[in-house]
Structure 1
Amino acid sequence: MSATPTHRAIAVMALVPTLVALALWAFAWPAARTAPRDLPIGVAGPASAVTQVEQRLEQRPDAFEVHRYTDEAAAREAIEDRVVYGAVVVTPQGPQLLTASAASPVVAGLLREAVTAQAPAGEPVKVTDVVAAPAGDPRGSGLASSILPLALAGVAAGVMVTVLGLRGSRAALALTGAAALVGLTAAALTHSWLGLLSGNWWAEAGVLGLTVLAIAGAVAGFAALLGTRGIAVGSLLMVLIGNPFSGAASAPELLPDPAGMIGQWLPPGAGAQLLRSVSYFGGNGAGGAVLTLSLWAALGLAAVLAGGRSAQPATASQESQRPVPAPVG
């Protein structure tokens, strides 16, 4: 039985507020609850002095995950390897704070405020930015803003492949080609023109392309498995959940649980982390994000290829059932 106009009107009135509520929850909730949660930070220096620093940091329960290092050089190496976001180094001249604004300008500012507030009165804190954000994007807002366009590009590619009726290997080839071209275009804009990125150009293009491929493959894969409903599932998952939960504007450890963890399992969050690692840290700390994006891309393309093969027997069966025209004469 087809829905009447009245039923359709009621469905619209119920669906729109539901989507608005979901969008507000997904975008506003993490932003309103931003705070450090097991944020990795290092401490280095004499054992007795380091213990005092740890005790001050632990006054905020579950805020920091403290790593001990023998000296400043070890702490710097940990920051460059993306093990910690920053480190407090205790020296005879007073405490020194090492930060990495390239990892997250928000975290760098938060650490500066926290360490300065906990320092003894009248004792200045020297701050050194070990891995600074590029001059073209000192606040990190440009990189954070680039994640949503990548998600939209991936969704658009997945939707277009589905709507245009591409199946199997043709669909996989179209998704891969579109993602590669988006990666090259995005690298030209973000690196060459805007100066948001400062690493190896081709590596950045590869990261941008892989991020788009993971999202596009997911959307097209859901569509191949679920039909047109899969487009809605994939789009909502990547844009409505993946983008605000990515932590690109701050850091995953600043988002409320379990948003930060979920965001890193989705392509937008993994793409943001991988782009930072490749562009600013020479690829350090990239392993988990590469694995996440590769799995989404591989599984999505596998679903697309499987959907194409399952459609072929059905088409062949329909062809065989067509009546054979009677001979003329």
Structure 2
Amino acid sequence: MSATRRLIAVVLLVPSLAAVALWAFAWPAARTAPRELPLGVAGPPAAAAQLEKQLTRHEGAFEIHHYADGTAAREAVEDRTVYGAVVVTAEGSELLTASAASPLVAQLLQQTVARQAAASGAQVKTVDVVAAPAADPRGSALGASVLPLALAGIAAGAVVSLLGLRGVRAVIGLVGAAALVGLVAATLAHSWLGVLTGDWWAEAAVLGLSTLAVSAAVAGCAALLGTPGIGAVSFVVMFLGNPFSGAASAPRMLPEPVGAIGQWLPPGAGTTLLRSVSFFDGAAATGPALTLAWWAALGLGAVLLGAQLKPGPARAEPATEARQPALVA
């Protein structure tokens, strides 16, 4: 490629990447709003029906779940079936939230329900059933952890590929690096910063699995496609996985189908799994755990398959000893 063509490629490539980055990061943030957000309603049938009618005025905003009483509604919040619930009793209405699931959603529910209550002249008591940790009440630290874990996974996969590690050695390197990342990240986030409050070893496992899902995918694509595979997976993780993860808000707060796509990618699945393990005793952890496991398994399988399809150069055979001279008759 001539110097002029390289110059044109640089001039066109940089603005294109900037446009893609702005679209991926700014568009979901600018369109943040509740979309079929699971919300529970409990109480006498007449009062619950009236409340549901008021909530459905926000077309497409809430997905209403009905519960017999406040106890069932609280259990639904703790199980991550709903983000919150409104309980109507004879003494008044009570709003159950879970800021640990999403501080932004908890604030949104308080504003929405309080506004409706004020319009009808009633008061609503708010109860944070599963509160965010005091060290991170807005969930900023948890949201900020998505990018470092993604970068760590990309770096591990790229280093293993560029150093020429293949087959079993590459798998051992990827698993070992991810395990160490999980231990270091848990030490920083749980032991030092105090932004995670669950079981330490479970959190370390989740952080390590999130890293392995990315690094295995990078190394696996590199083993099958060569160096371009590193760039392809890095693009998907950085430009789609991070902004579509819903870490700063919630998947149901992102435009469709962005929220669903994000949960099928390692950053989104890892964030959801970390919230479940750290704040909800593992509730609703099966789905994101399987997503990360599939990414890791397919990536490691591709690493092994690539070693079989593209075997390394054969070693030179050692020189054989010279034949003994024939006996002279």
**Smaller-chain TM-score bracket:** over 0.9
- The offset of 1:326, in angstroms, is 12
CA–CA distance in structure 2, aligned partners of residues 67 and 116 of structure 1: 19
- The offset of 1:94, in angstroms, is 1.7
- AA matched with 1:164: L
CA–CA distance in structure 2, aligned partners of residues 117 and 305 of structure 1: 58
**1:189 partnered with 2:194:** no
Give unmatched runs, 5+ long, in structure 1: none
Match of 2:296 in 1: 297
- The offset of 1:220, in angstroms, is 0.8
**1:80 partnered with 2:78:** yes
CA–CA distance in structure 2, aligned partners of residues 154 and 84 of structure 1: 31
**1:247 partnered with 2:246:** yes
CA–CA distance in structure 2, aligned partners of residues 57 and 122 of structure 1: 16
Secondary structure, in 3 states, of the residue corresponding to 1:127? strand
Secondary structure, in 3 states, of the residue corresponding to 2:85? strand
Query: After superposition, where does 1:157-168 map in structure 2 within 5 Å?
Result: 157-168=156-167
CA–CA distance in structure 2, aligned partners of residues 207 and 107 of structure 1: 24
CA–CA distance in structure 1, aligned partners of residues 222 and 322 of structure 2: 42
- The offset of 1:135, in angstroms, is 0.8
Overall identity of the aligned pairs, in %: 63
- 1:70 aligned residue (68, 71, 74): 68
- 1:53 aligned residue (51, 54, 68): 51
- AA matched with 1:235: S
Query: After superposition, where does 1:1-329 map in structure 2 within 5 Å?
Result: 3-119=1-117, 120-312=119-311, 315-316=313-314
Secondary structure, in 3 states, of the residue corresponding to 1:9? helix
CA–CA distance in structure 2, aligned partners of residues 111 and 288 of structure 1: 25
Secondary structure, in 3 states, of the residue corresponding to 1:315? coil
CA deviation string 1:161-210 (max 9, x = no partner): 01111111111100000000000000000000000000000000000000
- AA matched with 1:283: G
CA–CA distance in structure 2, aligned partners of residues 279 and 40 of structure 1: 21
TM-score under structure 2 normalisation? Answer: 0.95
- The offset of 1:291, in angstroms, is 0.5
4+ long deviations beyond 6 Å: 324-329
Aligned CA RMSD, in angstroms, stands at 1.8
- The offset of 1:311, in angstroms, is 2.4
CA–CA distance in structure 1, aligned partners of residues 224 and 68 of structure 2: 53
- AA matched with 1:54: E
TM-score under structure 1 normalisation? Answer: 0.95
Secondary structure, in 3 states, of the residue corresponding to 2:33? coil
- The offset of 1:239, in angstroms, is 1.2
